[in-house]
Structure 1
Amino acid sequence: MSTAATARPSVLFVCVHNAGRSQMAAAFLARLAGDAVEVRSAGSAPADTVNPAVVEAMREVGVDLTAETPKRLTAEAVQASDVVITMGCGDACPVFPGTTYLDWELDDPAGQGVDAVRPIRDEIEARVRGLLADLGVRPRG
């Protein structure tokens, strides 16, 4: 995967509510990449808060999402990103030339308990690790 001619790639994770999948993906990427990647997340119809089951599942792996809030998807955020990864938001994402678009089909944690969120969390972490390899960024830890 190629990114725009920047020394530090920018990745935007997008799901409908920005309360589950995209929050987990952004948190894993920020944790594993450190300052090597600029990380954003947003939702096409953001919720008021991050899903409590997602917060708990991430806490179990040492990631604190309690201070995070869902953000609205903007064309500016998409345009500023080298890679946009959608997770169930369909065609809500504007398309710009020069941006790489990926769609990760993942179960939606909305309305699920922590037991159902754990496998989604683990799949997201695995995909983020693969993304780092594609970006040529060595994961921390």
Structure 2
Amino acid sequence: MSNTPIASVLFVCVHNAGRSQMAAGFLSHLAGEQVEVRSAGSLPAEQVNPAAVDAMKEVGIDISDSTPKVLTTDAVQASDYVITMGCGDACPVFPGKKYLDWELDDPAGKGVEAVRPIRDQIKTRIESLIADIRREDSSG
């Protein structure tokens, strides 16, 4: 099997501190090198939401070294899938990209107890996304 990723995914949320970071963590963990993973936001926060970091640690995924990044046109152009996280962030639109919007509660300002259900919803969506990517890759 080739080490070349079969797809690239960009997760976008305004602050790139919670939902998009958890999604990127899950996708990297579950898909490994099969999928290239990016995340960004239009107004990135200074750090990843500590409750999101703690919630992900509970499921064995460490996103504590992640840093919020600014959304660039290049990141969108380089991605096959662009997934906004229900945060109303605007992305440049390019032909041939798959755009999805996942409506998810915002974990900002919430404790880990409130972030867990959001984390679990993201995991379910990531598992479905991986299945879709693999199905598209095999149908060629």
TM-score by length of structure 2 reads 0.91
- Secondary structure in 2 matching 1:92: coil
Pairwise CA distance, 1:88: 2.8
Alignment CA distance shift 1:91-1:43 (3 Å)? closer
Alignment counterpart, residue 59 of structure 1, candidates 57, 60, 81: 57
For residue 3 of structure 1, what is the aligned residue in structure 2? none
- The gaps in structure 1 that reach 5 residues or longer are 1-5
Alignment counterpart, residue 46 of structure 2, candidates 41, 48, 51: 48
Q: How does 1:32-111 map to 2 (within 5 A)?
A: 32-90=30-88, 92-111=90-109
1:21 aligns with 2:27: no
Letter of the 2:97 partner, please give it. Answer: T
For residue 116 of structure 2, what is the aligned residue in structure 1? 118
1:129 aligns with 2:127: yes
Q: Does the aligned pair in 2 maintain the 1:44–1:89 contact within 8 Å?
A: no
For residue 28 of structure 2, what is the aligned residue in structure 1? 30
**Which whole-Å CA distance do the structure 2 matches of 1:92 and 1:129 have between them?**
25
TM-score by length of structure 1 reads 0.90
Q: Does the aligned pair in 2 maintain the 1:46–1:70 contact within 8 Å?
A: yes
Identical positions, percent: 72
Pairwise CA distance, 1:56: 0.5
CA deviation string 1:7-59 (max 9, x = no partner): 62000000110000000000000000000000000011100000000011001
Q: Aligned pair count?
A: 132
- Secondary structure in 2 matching 1:11: strand
Moved beyond 2 Å, runs of 4+? 88-91
Letter of the 1:131 partner, please give it. Answer: L
RMSD: 1.3
- The gaps in structure 2 that reach 5 residues or longer are 136-140
